[in-house]
Amino acid sequence: MTIDENLLVLLLALLLDRIAGDPQWLWSRMPHPVVVFGAAISYADRQLNPASLTGSQRRMNGIAAILALLLLTVAAGFVFNRFFALFGPVGILLETGLVAIFLAQKSLADHVAAVALALRDEGLTGGRAAVSRIVGRDPETLDEPAVCRAAIESLAENFSDGVVAPALWYAVFGLPGLFAYKMLNTADSMIGHKSEKYIDFGWAAARLDDVANWPAARLSILLIAAGAWIRRGTSAGREAIRVAMRDGALHRSPNSGRPEAAMAGALNVQLAGPRIYGGVIVREPMINDTGRDVATSGDIEEGVSVFYASCMVLAGITFGLFLCFL
């Protein structure tokens, strides 16, 4: 496809995903593509990451595994692209549906909004259960403000790697770029940990994922600021940029802190700080430490509103670029 066709497909996919999200009736009947990616990663893990290997051997195997998986997904992207091209305008619609599958606007917003609803209807127990579906930290260690912060942080971080990054990689490189990004992002979530088992085998996947998400994380700052300006006014938009520039590097991830800091500034709340994963305390400074220190379910809902406005801005930019390339 040409760049203008990519942009048209992306625009339609953003609109489709915003309306339909992830249809559970479909994924209850067939495996989601990301599940297929995960199965391939698990197979590579079983075959190439036995405990008997040394750390250097695991690292070399991890490099070989992620490169092979990326090569396979790029090839699959080319095959799908050529196949859809056979059907003309119908092929554009088919590719639109496929691209929409890899975006996470409605599904992300629904999961995050469910945390606020659970807190209001079921109290802290319900909020902990709802947030445990979208974050990895120990839910039983969270009080209500911490549940709210966790939900907002997940919303901001996943806006970058669940919406902006796949959109960007598709816009530039088409289906091969989109497939490769989602394989890499899935691999990072599965094997990119600093545990004894994966610190070497998952090293390459984690480093490449950092590189792949670098541009999207920075673009997310501007999109969140624009969404904050639309929903909360000029000062919120300015604060989103100011806090992101000041505190974005405080996070242990080179990318996640950028959209989280932008959202913290937009909502005037503190995010991040010390938290517990698998019984281990991760000590990090607060992002936006001058903001409100008690996040509420209302802040979650405000965050979702800013998120949707940011997605709208992304779709508007895509439309503008499409017109430029016509």
Sign of the alpha-carbon dihedral angle for 165, 170, 172, 175: positive
pLDDT at residue 54, as a whole number: 94
pLDDT at residue 189, as a whole number: 93
Record the pTM: 0.94
CA distance linking residue 9 with residue 159, whole number of Å: 20
Q: What whole-number percentage of the chain has pLDDT above 90?
A: 85
Tokens 């490769």 sit on residue:
180
pLDDT at residue 276, as a whole number: 65
Average pLDDT, the chain: 94
Task: Give the three-state DSSP class for 113.
Answer: helix
pLDDT at residue 135, as a whole number: 86
Structure tokens belonging to residue 58: 């695991």
Q: In DSSP terms, which residues pair with 272 in a beta bridge?
A: 286
pLDDT at residue 278, as a whole number: 61
Gyration radius of the chain's alpha carbons: 20
> Would strands 286-287 and 271-272 be described as parallel, antiparallel, or unpaired?
antiparallel
* 280 phi/psi in degrees, rounded to 5: -105, 130
pLDDT at residue 193, as a whole number: 86
More confident residue, 247 or 282: 247
Q: What whole-number percentage of the chain has pLDDT above 70?
A: 98
Q: Which residue, 99, 66, 72, 67, is CA-closest to 174?
A: 99
Q: Is 274 exposed, middle or buried (0-12, 13-18, 19+ CB in 10 A)?
A: exposed
| DSSP summary character for residue 162 | I
pLDDT at residue 279, as a whole number: 59
pLDDT at residue 29, as a whole number: 85
pLDDT tier at 280 (50, 70, 90 boundaries)?
A: low
pLDDT at residue 28, as a whole number: 81
pLDDT at residue 226, as a whole number: 98
**By the 8 A CB rule, do 271 and 149 touch?**
yes
pLDDT per position as a tens digit, 44-66: 999 999 999 999 999 999 999 99
